[in-house]
Amino acid sequence: MTDLRRLVILRVMPKPNHREKILSAGLAVFHKQGFHATGVQDVVDHAGVPKGSFYNHFKSKDALGLEVLESYWTAGGSARTELQTDGVAPLERIDRHLAAAGYDKNGCLIGNFSSELAGSDEFRSRLSELYKVWISEVAACIREGQEDGTLRRDERAENLAEFIIEGLEGAKLKAKVERDPAVLKRYRNSIRLVLQSP
Amino acid sequence: MTDLRRLVILRVMPKPNHREKILSAGLAVFHKQGFHATGVQDVVDHAGVPKGSFYNHFKSKDALGLEVLESYWTAGGSARTELQTDGVAPLERIDRHLAAAGYDKNGCLIGNFSSELAGSDEFRSRLSELYKVWISEVAACIREGQEDGTLRRDERAENLAEFIIEGLEGAKLKAKVERDPAVLKRYRNSIRLVLQSP
């Protein structure tokens, strides 16, 4: 292969590691600055890749945003496994989940995107699905606690789970404004109190 | 006065009604599209005033954003008066407040700005003050209910109030994603249940 031909191939073929760099840069900057305040140029600058490389891997900023949302959701999977730990009381599991999904000075990306991007049908419908899965996982844990008599039974598990996840999103928003993890700590204490069987 | 002189004065002096138009357009578009997704051009287009007029009245888009936040807060005052209605039980007053501050397909501007603008010290500190006032008004109402024995006493009124307002912001975010006022209705029902004396 001539040097020239090698050079042409290197320039034209998408570099797989560039894709990963762009995705992780997108997650960092969208989370920190917000989606609309961030341009493709900011993302590639942060990734340290040439701008042309972006469009080899992603159709648009929206396409990157949707993949970033998936990465964030997948990364949050470890916090959700807390809900299923064997041998731990349901109330404790919920508390551990809230702690693991807890304070971040940039808030929750799911909450941030809910606020900024609910106008887009693509983002909105994916966000709605993620909430649904998340809430059903929390509800399953609450149902166990209702069955063993440790958690209140005067409200459906699904409604309590929705209440908890919405409240968590609100608490993360408030903690971001206050720049104070104590907001999340108070939120967890309130949830403990609210969920316990009277 | 010559016609020419009158014309010069008309062109140079800021028109007070332009200020009102820009403020109300700013509220509408920032609330609908978000702050970062909206340019000064969008605001003046929506207001139907020339772009030059904007800078006669506002130093910057940030300056308009801060005034829009004040307008929104002031307009929310009527929902907060529900918390102080004489002759109505505290639980009922809180429920009426949550109903009045309820569903909006664009979410809550205070929540939206919390998500988008907490990176700016000016917005962040004003948002923090507004939450403080809001929470203290809800707390005063809860304290009354704790004193008359109708509301739970196992948690400080301030913590319950913070919990309610954070939860409301989270529920408004979720309702925006679902485009469904029923989210707010379920939230109000959960709060009724949670606040009542066991």
Per CATH, the number for B3-59 is 1.10.10.60
10-residue mean pLDDT profile of chain A (198 residues): values are 61 76 97 96 97 95 98 95 95 97 94 96 98 98 97 96 98 97 97 91
A162/B176 touch (CB, cutoff 8 Å), yes or no: no
CA distance A138 to A32: 27
Percent of the residues in chain A that have a pLDDT greater than 90, as a whole number: 89
Average pLDDT over residues B35-51: 96
Nearest neighbour of B34 by CB, restricted to A36, A154, A177: A36
Contact B171, B107 (CB under 8 A): no
**Common-topology check for domains B3-59 and B76-195:** no
Q: Given this model, what pLDDT does residue A192 score? A: 97
Burial zone of B14 (CB within 10 Å; 0-12 exposed, 13-18 middle, 19+ buried)? exposed
CATH number 1.10.357.10 given to B76-195: yes
Q: Is A108 exposed, middle or buried (0-12, 13-18, 19+ CB in 10 A)?
A: buried
What is the C-alpha separation between B7 and B12, in angstroms, rounded?
9
CA dihedral A131, A137, A142, A145 (to 10 degrees): -170
Q: What is the mean pLDDT of residues B158-186?
A: 97
Q: Supply the pLDDT for residue A8.
A: 58
Decide: residue B106, CB within 10 A, 0-12 exposed, 13-18 middle, 19+ buried: middle
- Is the confidence at residue B198, as pLDDT, over 90? no
CB contact under 8 A, A183 and B168: no
pLDDT tens figures, A120-144: 999 999 999 999 999 999 999 999 9
pLDDT at A102: 86
The rounded distance, in Å, linking the Cα atoms of A99 and A181 is 10
CA-nearest residue to A34 within chain B is B116
- Decide if pLDDT at B102 tops 90: no
Check if B29 contacts A (Cβ < 8 Å): no
Among A154, A160, A173, beta carbon nearest to B114 = A173
CA atoms of B129 and B117, how far apart (whole Å): 15
- Cβ–Cβ below 8 Å for B111 and A173: yes
> Which one of A190, A191, A192 would you mutate to disrupt binding with B, by most B Cβ within 10 Å of its Cβ?
A190
Nearest CA in chain A to B127: A177
Q: How far is A128 from chain B (nearest CA, A)?
A: 6
Alpha-carbon distance B50 to nearest alpha carbon in chain A (angstroms): 25
- Report the 10 Å Cβ neighbour count for A23: 19
Q: What is the pLDDT of residue A131?
A: 98
Q: Tell me what pLDDT residue B4 has.
A: 64
A163:B174 CB<8 A: no
- Going A99 to B101 to A34 to A124, the CA torsion angle's sign is positive
Domain range annotation of chain B: 3-59, 76-195
Backbone angles phi, psi at A147, to 5 degrees: -70, -35
